[in-house]
Amino acid sequence: MDLWKRFLAKADSVLGNPNSPQFIVYTGDLPAHYACGEGCAGCYLAPGDRASHDQDLTVILTGLRNLANKYKKPLFYMPGNNDALAGDYFSFADSLQKTPFSLVPDSSNPFPALNINRGSTQAPCMVSNPHPQMGYYSARPVEGLRLLALNTVIYNTCFTTVDGSQQGTDGDTQMAWIAAQLAEAKAQNEKVYIAMHIPPGKDAYSGKSMWAELPGQGQSWLNTFLSLTDSYQATIAGILYGHTHMDEVRRLYNSAGKITEVAVCCPGVTPQHYNNPGFKTVEYDAASKELMDFTTYHTTLNIPAWGNRTYTFSKYYQSPAKTSIFQRLSSMSLPDITSAMDCTYTVRNGPAPARDSIAHGIEVMWQK
């Protein structure tokens, strides 16, 4: 937990700056990795085997709450695959319908959204939380902006339920909710950020799709999501994700091969995949809410404190002033994006490992 303490201290210094972030988005994976058995089901933790896992989750959630409370910043959490009580890639609620939030109860300021105006429609506030045990919801961090906080662990090939639900039904229900939220936001002239843990598209490490296609499913979840990002391109101002531990960007396409959205990844604090520990702040345009730049704060394991190392999107992607991340990435060739991303993919821990084909992860294409 020494690295986690170093992260909290650095995040504290960032939040303590005069020009500090307006709100915090935590894209999942409370750093609580543990050894698994074979196959997806091999990560299951029986109730009697959860003490260490529960303790890790408690420490991380408590640290996040204390950090957000100190600066009275809204914090929005979304589930990662490591976060379920029953283990890696399991349903957010366990067989007793308990979620990780049961470990850190606080009726006055409960997860998943901290330091908001409860029972109010004035930002920051909750907008929709139809299935708390599923882990997805929407909120209004600032006026004119709606945040869709998704549980995309549901869409992964390894997702396993222990809460009595079914993956197909869970995924379809959430996707229908996403469509309804986008329609409502458009009708209310709001811009939307979509935040999640596991992104759509391929994993640069394995080259395989990270979202499942279920037998008899009909249109895949990926194609449904890409249809929505196409239909609501003018409403969606940014997509944020985590999971891969790397400093990535992605381009999303519609069925005609046109770029409709771009997605920005937050790297991992834990160096599980040849990455340096990192996190980032993102700048957005106050009027359009478009993402304009990001700054990644990174460190190494061989120093006692986090330090002051940073880099920006605008530097490595050579983005001109007043150019949004979407505009810059849309105008670049795939080789140019790949070259730029190779400089930061490992969070400045050297070039991408030979095992990773980073170009695989950039282009999120329609499945035919």
* Residue 31 confidence (pLDDT): 66
- Rounded to 10°, the helix 2-15/51-70 angle is 20
Whether 216 has a pLDDT exceeding 90, the answer reads: no
Place of tokens 């670049």: 332
On whether the CB atoms of residues 49 and 56 are closer than 8 A, the answer is: no
Please list, in sequence order, all residues whose beta carbon lies within 8 angstroms of the beta carbon of residue 292, skipping any fewer than 6 positions away. Answer: 283, 284, 285, 322, 323, 324, 325
pLDDT at 58: 97
Closest to 238 (Cα-Cα) out of 215, 211, 266, 214: 266
Instruction: Return the residue matching tokens 């090939």.
Output: 157
Where residue 32 falls among pLDDT bands split at 50, 70, 90?
Answer: low
For 170-180, write each residue's pLDDT tens digit. Answer: 999 999 999 99
Q: Give me the mean pLDDT over the 249-276 stretch.
A: 96
CA distances from 19 to 69, 193, 307 (A): 18, 21, 19
Q: Check if the beta carbon of residue 68 is closer than 8 Å to that of residue 123.
A: no
pLDDT bracket for residue 256 (50, 70, 90): very high
For the chain, the domain total comes to: 1
Q: Is the pLDDT of residue 38 over 70?
A: yes
Per-residue model confidence (pLDDT) at position 212: 92
Rg (CA), the chain: 19
Cα gap 186→178, rounded to integer Å? 12
- Which residue is listed with tokens 């039904």? 169
| Beta carbons of 116 and 124 less than 8 angstroms apart | yes
Q: Where are the alpha helices (DSSP H) in 50-194?
A: 51-70, 167-187
Identify the domain containing residue 224 by its residue range. 2-364
- 208: domain CATH number? 3.60.21
Region 197-202: mean pLDDT is 97
How far apart CA 207 and CA 167 sit, in angstroms, is 23
Q: What percent of the chain has pLDDT over 90?
A: 88
SS3 316: helix
> What integer pLDDT is reported at residue 218 of this predicted model?
73
User: Tens digit of pLDDT for each residue in 308-337?
Assistant: 999 999 999 999 999 999 999 999 999 999
pLDDT of res. 44 = 95
| HSE (side-chain half, CA atoms, 13 Å) at 211 | 27
Mean pLDDT confidence for 191-208: 94
Contact of 290 with 272, CB cutoff 8 Å: no
pLDDT tens digits, 58-105:
999 999 999 999 999 999 999 999 999 999 999 999 999 999 999 999
Using CA atoms, how far residue 342 sits from 207, 301, 335, in Å, is 17, 21, 10
User: How high is the pLDDT of residue 198?
Assistant: 98
Indicate the burial class of 264 (C-beta count within 10 angstroms; 0-12, 13-18, 19 or more): buried
* pTM to 2 decimal places: 0.97
Q: What pLDDT score was predicted for residue 65?
A: 99
Q: Alpha-carbon distance 93 to 86, whole Å? A: 8
Is pLDDT of 349 > 70?
A: yes
Determine the Cα–Cα distance for residues 321 and 57; give it in Å rounded to an integer.
40
**According to the model, what pLDDT value does residue 186 have?**
99
* Whole-number pLDDT of residue 147: 99
DSSP assignment of 25-72 equals: EE-S--S------SSGGGGB--GGG-HHHHHHHHHHHHHHHHHHHHTT
C-alpha distance from residue 254 to each of 53, 128, 143, 305, 337 (Å): 40, 27, 29, 44, 19
CB 81 within 8 A of CB 153: yes
Cα–Cα distances in angstroms (integers) from residue 73 to residues 68, 110, 283, in the given order? 5, 14, 16
Structure-block tokens of residue 202: 């391929």
**368, two tokens:** 């035919």
Tell me the pLDDT of the chain averaged across its residues.
95
List residues bridging with 136 in a β-sheet: 131
